[in-house]
Chains A and B, each alone.
Chain A
Amino acid sequence: MNNNVGNTFFKIISAVIAFTCSLLLIAVLFFMLRESLPVWQMTRPLAFLSGTDWSPIYPPIQLGIGSMLASTLWVAFGALIIAIPLALACAIFLAEYAPQWLAQLLRPALTVLTGIPSVVYGFLGAAVLVKFFEIKFQVSSGESLFAASIVLAFMVLPYIVVNSESAIRAVPPEYKLSALAVGVSKPYVTMKVIVPLAKKGVLGSIALAFGRAAGETMAVLMIAGNVLRFPESWFSRGEPLSALIALEIGSAVPHSLHYQALFAVGLVLILVVTIINILINYLVNNNEMPRY
């Protein structure tokens, strides 16, 4: 009887905690929406998203974040393009090939990467990468979305490696043993049996990495170049959404249109990350586990 009471209490508490956390997300969305409401009433959402002129203070007032949205997507997807092959190779090595002593050495090194503050990454990127591009390619100024992607790739790398490795390790050993028993080589087993089975976890880790890359502020603020022109290529300069907010919120007059527009930008950033996470989840759930 007593035990039952404890059980019920435990259930209630867990439910309340879980509910509070979800409530927090709703509260954030609600607050962002409320602060940015006048912007949505003034401009059509589509014009806001696709416009390429951003002039929130001086007339003619134009609110278009197309350039920044494109910069965010370039930077974040670019970071994933660089990070995913590296991270997957790293995860496969750690889970399948590395001797235990080496794995024990590499794993903490990777986790330390997550602990480096982003301003330090940004600083290194600005001091090393930007300078390198300036000297190597004889350009006037070395900032670019590409440089920001490289730095971001190293920031998200540990997230993909750690989560993918545990996904690969979670594949039941029977699969591996039976595959090996058929007589195929180890690379074949790894690439054709184990990695496909771990796909769900790997995609989950990529979703996590995308959120991190799209929301990262300090490093991209220091490396992406912060220009308002629409980024035509990966190698142009640009100003991702997060950098735009960080740059301008300090000087925006509270409750002015500029301020509200920045909240609208924040809302767009949350929604972009959420939508892409939902898409990746959809991808995960619609990919049936391969059967052997």
Chain B
Amino acid sequence: MNRKLLLVLALISLLLMASLTGCSQLGTSTPNTTVPQTESSIKIGGSSTLSPIIAKCADNFTEEYKTWNKVDPSLPEEPIVIFVSTGGSGFGVKSTIDGTFDLGLVARNIKDEEKSELKDGKTFQIGSDVLTIAVNPKNPVATIKPDISREELKKIFGGEITTWKQLDPALPNKNIVVAVRDLGGGASEIFDNAVMKGTPISKDAQQIPSMGALAGKIMDNEMAIGYVSSGLVNQNPDKLIALTVDGIAPTLENIKSGKYDIGRPLLIITKSTPTAKQQAFIDYLMSDKGLTVVEDLGYIPAK
């Protein structure tokens, strides 16, 4: 009996503790998700467009130096550990603000509300991404009408043109499947500024939760059209075809010269001044070695 009583008492105290901590958490306004800082590792995350680039760079960086003192003699002799995860630009900003990530990856401009929370931090632009207007290679539009005007794009995405035949009489009389990122996503904002200019996106447009899935939808559906990261188009040349817009192809030269301008910055953000180690990795990313990876994966490196 005594033992049972003890057990019962233990259970009660456990419950009390649980309910007390529960109450104290209710009182705070932001959930307490801060991960304890381990000095030797760097945690990075955010945009699903950027994370493959940074993961590749982190791999190369770790491979090349192995310990921090080899990067810079003033740093301690500790193994380099860099974690890269994904979750989207918004998540990247949020997690950088609450301290989950040391470096946040963001594939859009930083909004004013976010800037005020990041005012002590720094922002680095590692490159740019271009939104191409992509279609399925089996869609005859790729051969019959490979060029599309901004006005036509506006009508397609705004819901005024609903079948391919309306776009060009030689095209099949089938509904256009308009694929967009969800209205809060980074890419949709860029497209809105560059093409729609305030015209609302058609209510019939299918919202797709990530850039990868959007590209997948177009690879999968012959009647689909959507804006897709240039990187994804370059990685899947047989499955996606980029149309030219107003006669301008989304090539590297046209993007650099600013002729093709449906694009967005690829940013790395910090909440406060980066530590020596974080700065060392950022310097590596911004060096030729890092920028080569950006270019290899199909994006436009900074500088």
Contacts and interface: CB of A to CB of B under 8 A. Distances in A.
Given A55-B183, A251-B89, A17 B221 contact: no
Interface in A147-178: none
Interface residues of B, number: 46
Contact of A16 (B15, B91, B176, B177): B15
A11 to B, nearest CB: 11
Contacts of B295: none
B221 A250 contact: no
Contacts of B200: 55, 58
Contact of A253 (B90, B204, B206): B90
A252 B186 CA distance: 10
What size tier do the contact residues of chain A reach? 35 or more
Nearest to A141: B177
B276 interface: no
Contacts of B182: 226, 247-248, 251
A247 B183 CA distance: 9
Contacts of A139: 175
A254 interface: yes
A6 interface: yes
A31 interface: yes
Interface string B1-27: 100110010011001001100100010
A247 B207 contact: yes
Interface in B187-228: 189, 192, 198, 200, 203-209, 221, 223-224
A30 to B, nearest CB: 8
Interface in A205-228: 221, 225-228
Contacts of A2: 1
B208 A226 contact: yes
Nearest to B189: A57
A225 B90 CA distance: 23
Contacts of B89: 251
B207 A251 contact: no
Contacts of A254: 30, 94, 97
Contacts, number: 106
A278 to B, nearest CB: 26
* Interface secondary structure of B, over-half rule: mixed
B132 to A, nearest CB: 21
B207 A227 contact: yes
> Most chain-A CB neighbours within 10 Å: which of B4, B198, B209?
B209
Interface string A1-32: 01001100110110011001001000100110
B204 A227 contact: yes
A258 interface: yes
B64 interface: no
A134 to B, nearest CB: 8
Interface string A123-137: 000000000001000
B114 interface: yes
A247 B88 CA distance: 11
A14 to B, nearest CB: 11
Given A12-B12, A247-B207, 13 more contacts: A13-B15, A57-B183, A57-B189, A58-B192, A227-B203, A227-B205, A229-B204, A250-B184, A251-B89, A251-B91, A251-B182, A252-B90, A254-B97
Interface of B: 1, 4-5, 8, 11-12, 15, 18-19, 22, 26, 30, 87-91, 93-94, 97, 111, 113-114, 174-177, 182-186, 189, 192, 198, 200, 203-209, 221, 223-224
